[in-house]
Amino acid sequence: MLNRSAFSILKPIRGLLLGAVALVVAGCGAGGPSFNPVGGKLTVDGKVPANVQVSFYPVDGKGPIASGTVDAGTGRYDLTSSGGVGKPAGKGAVAGKYKVVLNAIGGGAGSAEAMMAQYSGGNNQGKAPAAPKASFKKEYGAASTTPKEVEVKSGPNAIDLDL
């Protein structure tokens, strides 16, 4: 059996354990990362590209990737981030340094309409549709080769890109 002096020794330990549990619970909130609004205008050689998605990949490889579709008329883009596994997505990007990556998307021969026509009896029936033609240098197509880096800061960010 334990006597009273044994219980008096356990009181400080109990306090430390309760404090540790409180810290763990506070750090495990479902809030996810803090996103900062990011938008701007993309031009390639001074012209607004069509059918392009811009993505920001964290330089350190940690945190969510942010991406947005470029408006073919204005060149405007606004980023949305994946929240990560089990975390909600958000408008913008987490503060930090990013590599800028461009991807050709939809439109023209690679659009959904063109694919449906090719597979349902249109020309080239049964053949894979052509991939969209990139209107930018190949080096911008991957995080490992892009020369462009930007920094997202806390608060709203206007990041114009002329590549």
Record the tokens describing residue 52, joined without a space.
């392009």
Give me the pLDDT at residue 135, please. Answer: 85
Unique residue bearing structure tokens 């990007």: 93
Q: Residue 80: name the closest of 88, 95, 90 by CA.
A: 90
Q: Would you tell me how many other CB atoms lie within 10 Å of the CB of residue 51?
A: 19
> What separation in angstroms does the CA of 163 have from each of 15, 52, 133, 135?
58, 13, 17, 11
Confidence (pTM): 0.68
| 112 residue type, one letter | A
Do residues 68 and 77 touch, judged by C-beta distance below 8 A? yes
Q: What is the pLDDT along the chain (163 residues), one digit of tens a residue?
A: 555 554 454 444 444 333 333 333 333 445 678 999 999 999 999 999 999 999 999 999 998 999 999 999 999 999 999 876 777 889 999 999 999 999 999 765 444 554 455 445 555 555 555 556 778 999 999 999 999 999 999 999 999 999 9
Q: List, as one string, the DSSP characters of 48-109.
A: PPSSEEEEEEETTS-S--EEEEPPTTT-EEE-EE---TTS--EESB-SEEEEEEEEE-SSGG
Give me the pLDDT at residue 87, please. Answer: 78
Give me the pLDDT at residue 13, please. Answer: 40
Identify the bridge partners of residue 67 per DSSP, sorted by sequence position: 55, 80
